[in-house]
A and B are shown apart, each in its own frame.
Chain A
Amino acid sequence: MASVTGGLLAKARKAIRENARPIRRDKVIGPSRLPVLLLFLPPALLLFTVFVMLPMGEAAWYSLYNWSGYGRPTEFVGLRNFEVLFQNRAFHQALTNTGLIMVVSIVIQVPLALWLAMLLAERFPGVVAFRLIFFLPYVLADVAAGLIWRFVYDGDYGLFAAIFGFFGMSAPYVLADRDLAIYAVLAVVVWKYFGFHMMLFIAGLQAIDRNLLEAADIDGASRWQRFRYVTLPLLAPTLRLSIFFAVIGSIQLFDVVMPLTGGGPLNSTETLVTFLYSYGVMRMQIGFGSAAGVVLFLICVVLAFTYKRALMRND
């Protein structure tokens, strides 16, 4: 028995090897491919090395030094920057906030975008105008959006002040309140980026074969059932991509926050990147800032790879 299975296994292995060989041989770079490679690889490789790999390596190196940014780093401090970083209250706040932004992006922003996309993927008069309106915040420059919302939230002269004033109440100073400010920022983030996800979903929805929905309709499926059992599974790759963008975007959030609150009051709206900027660059602690950068990079890499491996394998 054992020898029979052994023989079968050996046969199978042989068959696999034989079948595999021609494929592998195909992948070997032949003389016809070499010029293409020599011509097209170096520019991309060079750019990638100089602007991505090198700065990453440099940041990792700087993170081991106490360095102000002038001259060359000379004062080696080992992992002290990381130690200080993980004891920093503002950094804890930044981590919490980044997590919160991520959760809100996934739980509120993406479903909102999906809902709007469901409404706007149909063809009806005025649909383009609606899509445009909802997409507009995304087109707006981040800094401009931050400044606009700073005025909106202003408790003295802003839109908030006007609305509250209309009802005879005094407006809260949302951006000056350390408990409220982060929610004000979250609202702007959702407002700013839902249009992007909506567009992704509209594209995904339009790629769905209408016959499938029609067939479900004929079979007596309700609106919800059609959405749950036809649209959603077919939209899954887009959804996974959209969540991926939402996660990565949350980790990198900076431009909107700076003009809005600058990370304040009392660090309550600090994100990982605003923390890196305020504590690394502005304080001339490039070593410490690099340590924050390394942590940020690791979080990004781990999240991106795990997510891609776990959920986007087949996309």
Chain B
Amino acid sequence: MNFRGSTILGAALATTGILGATMAAAQTEVRWLHIEQNPAYLSVWEEIAESFNAQNPDVNVTMQFLENEAFKARLPTLLQSNSAPHMFYSWGGGVLRAQAENGVLMNLNEAMAEERDGQPWGESFNAAAVDGLTFDDNLWAVPFRMGTVSFFYNRELFDQAGVNADDLTDWDALLDAVETLKEAGITPIAVGGGERWPVHFYWSYLAMRIGGQEVVDNAKVGEGEGFGHEAFIRAGEELTRLGELDPFQPGYLGATWPQTLGLFGDGGAAMILSFENTVGTQRNNAADGVGLDPDNIGRFPFPMVEGGDSQITDTLGGLNGWAVSVNAPPETLDFLAYFTNLENQQKMAAAEMLIPVTTGAEEAVVGEHLRGAADQLAASTWHQNYFDQDFGPALGRVINDISVELVTGNMSPGEAVSMLQNEFALQ
């Protein structure tokens, strides 16, 4: 390019830049920070954002992405800076509470009382979802997704080994099935040990099944025996028992979660303890991009443990919402109301993305297993948020650590409990 050419180009760029800036200034920008990586789900959100922008020419919703771990690491700094996102992803639990206590979040009580579509906004949601994001009677995030963790299994592999999923209602039966599958030369369970949290589902569910709600709730607040309760020791013992059977794929300690889903999708393991949308995610992560036929996938709740003090209808799972930062423009709430309206929640449900929280949207849930999970949630006798979120970031990660240590037999159940007690004492 000659000199004159580059000058003209430069001037043109500068002019567009100035024009762009003036146009943006006339609009209110709503910065939306998310962690979604699945392109199919993202396109649904992009569509929603675009249609909102089209309907509201004076608002510009922009999507910003941070990878899960980077998101957690950067959020505290971001939220206290001038470029804080206006709405961002939240798992509820201890982190949301810490953010709320430090005044970086907008209290949503007032917004929820406002009339939208003929009723107070807050009443359009499933009450349990709102409760889960409420601390001390104040709501700190707009719910949009609920989920539950359960076992998914490969029907063909179960048939091949002669295992009947209907029999797997107690822990010992599951351990027997693991042995039967191994004898048939099948990897019984896929687990993403490299990321640690997939293993903590086992410890959490065991603690829930053995101890029940009161014991877990006491541990959260340090009442009664706290983590010293015998149920937590037993949970550790049972997890070690599982680990001793060597039930996981080779190299599971280095496996990431997408790899694990891929392994299940490729038919490389018979079971996976996973999220409600596993049918979709195993497909996306399978080597051929097709994965298992949905008809080949079965699902059963985490089994009961003998002598345990709980019900099989108690569920462990997530509750996600969008927290709003304290200085966010009011348009953020308008967008959130649009995002969680019946039509858009149905759209997300129809994309097999989530179990919606907006009343009436659950009917749009498609797919046998997502539907089943939604029904299971609706009938849940106690819904417990993921331990690594609910117990706060520090204690939560210690739970992840000890779960991996226990399953590898590297730590005794007693040591694990005292590690938790020590960490709790530091909070």
Contact = CB atoms under 8 A, between A and B. Distances in A.
A266 B408 CA distance: 9
Interface range for A:
20 to 34
A283 B194 contact: no
A64 interface: no
A70 B72 CA distance: 13
Contacts of B103: 71
Nearest to A175: B254
Contacts of B393: 68, 282-285
Name, among A68, A155, A181, the residue most crowded by chain B CB atoms within 10 Å (CB to CB).
Answer: A68
Nearest to B252: A176
B254 to A, nearest CB: 3
Nearest to A87: B422
Which of B77, B101, B252, B401 counts the most A-chain CB atoms under 10 A from its CB? Answer: B401
Q: How extensive is the interface on chain B, given as a class?
A: 20 to 34
B250 interface: yes
B397 A265 contact: no
B1 to A, nearest CB: 29
A43 B426 CA distance: 42
A190 B196 CA distance: 28
Contacts of A265: 193-194, 253-254, 404
B102 A156 contact: no
A175 B252 CA distance: 10
Given A282-B73, A284-B95, A66 B254 contact: no
A261 interface: yes
Contacts of B95: 284
A226 interface: no
Contacts of A176: 193-194, 250-255
Given A284-B393, A284-B394, A156 B99 contact: no
A178 B253 contact: yes
A281 B253 contact: no
Contacts of B255: 176
**Listed residue (B99, B253, B397, B401) with the most chain A CB atoms within 10 angstroms of its CB:** B253
Nearest to B72: A282
B405 interface: yes
B254 A283 contact: no
Interface in B121-168: none
Given A266-B405, A281-B73, A284-B76, A70 B254 contact: no
Contacts of A245: none
Contacts of A286: 76
User: What is the predominant secondary structure among interface residues of chain B facing chain A?
Assistant: helix
B104 A70 contact: yes
Contacts of A267: 401
A248 B233 CA distance: 43
Interface string A49-83: 00000000000000000101111000000001000
Interface string A253-282: 000000001101111000000000110011
Interface string B107-132: 00000000000000000000000000
A286 B76 CA distance: 10
B410 interface: yes
B76 A173 contact: no
A141 interface: no
From B72, B196, B251, B252, name the one whose CB has the most chain A CB atoms within 10 angstroms: B251
B98 A264 contact: no
Contacts of A156: 251
B250 A264 contact: no
A84 B398 CA distance: 14
A122 interface: no
A177 interface: yes
A267 B398 CA distance: 12
Nearest to B268: A156
A178 B193 CA distance: 12
Contact of B250 (A155, A181, A281, A282): A155
A105 B298 CA distance: 52
Contacts of A266: 253, 404-405, 408, 410
B381 interface: no
B62 interface: no
28 contacts: A68-B102, A69-B76, A69-B77, A70-B80, A155-B250, A173-B251, A173-B254, A176-B193, A176-B251, A176-B252, A177-B253, A181-B254, A262-B194, A264-B196, A264-B253, A264-B254, A265-B253, A266-B405, A282-B72, A282-B393, A282-B397, A283-B397, A284-B76, A284-B98, A284-B392, A284-B393, A284-B394, A286-B76
Given A70-B101, A264-B196, A264-B404, 19 more contacts: A66-B426, A68-B76, A70-B99, A71-B103, A155-B251, A175-B251, A176-B193, A178-B253, A178-B410, A261-B194, A265-B194, A266-B253, A267-B401, A278-B397, A282-B69, A282-B393, A284-B95, A284-B394, A286-B76
Interface of A: 66, 68-71, 80, 84, 155-156, 170, 173, 175-178, 181, 261-262, 264-267, 277-278, 281-286
Interface of B: 69, 72-73, 76-77, 79-80, 95, 98-99, 101-104, 193-194, 196, 250-255, 392-394, 397, 401, 404-405, 408, 410, 426
